[in-house]
């Protein structure tokens, strides 16, 4: 999970065959953003922008329950299923094209971390090696 400038906020390591959407709730739970002054860290982002892979009823319910505004496009198959159900399918999800266009910042943040040689070569065969390399690469994104 990155901020609006592509800098890493939270990361979780999983097996290579785990889908992104299953890790959405644990990522939100792990989010802690320190305040400039005194006080406990923020655990709720102002806004979430995600791709179609995160468009599930569970993720949208989680965001709605926590009061987090979001822009997540709805895949065509979900749109078709909703239309097929008629009025029982509910209303279409809100989608802000202007906000979603800024999602490229998130992707560039991921690519910047992936370009780091220690992660790209994948020489470390243990999760703790990858976690250390990912932490270092993420810290380097925060430096000016």
pLDDT of amino acid 128: 86
List, for residues 51-82, the tens digit of each pLDDT value.
888 988 899 999 999 999 999 998 888 888 88
pLDDT at 141 over 90: no
Cβ-proximal residues to 92 (8 Å cutoff; 6+ apart), any chain = 74, 79, 82
pLDDT of residue 133: 86
- How much is the average pLDDT of 2-9? 88
Between CA 63 and CA 66 the distance in angstroms is 5
- Among the CATH numbers 3.30.450, 3.30.420, 1.10.3470, 3.40.50, which is that of 20-142? 3.30.420
pLDDT bucket at 144, cuts 50 / 70 / 90:
confident
123 by Cβ neighbours in 10 Å (0-12 / 13-18 / 19+) ranks as exposed
Where do the structural domains in the chain lie, given as residue ranges? 20-142
Q: Minimal CA–CA distance to 28: which of 103, 58, 93?
A: 58
104-116 per-position pLDDT tens digit: 888 888 888 888 7
């Amino acid at each position: 999970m990155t901020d609006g400038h592509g800098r890493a906020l939270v990361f979780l390591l999983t097996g290579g065959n785990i889908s992104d959407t299953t890790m959405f709730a644990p990522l939100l739970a792990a989010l802690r953003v320190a305040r400039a002054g005194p006080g406990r860290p923020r655990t709720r982002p102002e806004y979430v922008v995600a791709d179609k892979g995160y468009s599930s009823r569970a993720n949208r319910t989680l965001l709605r329950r926590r009061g987090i505004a979001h822009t997540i496009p709805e895949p065509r198959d979900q749109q078709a299923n909703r239309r097929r159900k008629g009025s029982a399918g509910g209303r279409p999800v809100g989608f802000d094209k202007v906000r979603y266009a800024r999602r490229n910042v998130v992707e560039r943040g991921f690519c910047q971390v992936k370009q780091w040689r220690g992660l790209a070569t994948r020489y470390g065969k243990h999760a703790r090696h990858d976690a250390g390399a990912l932490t270092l690469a993420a810290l380097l994104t925060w430096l000016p």
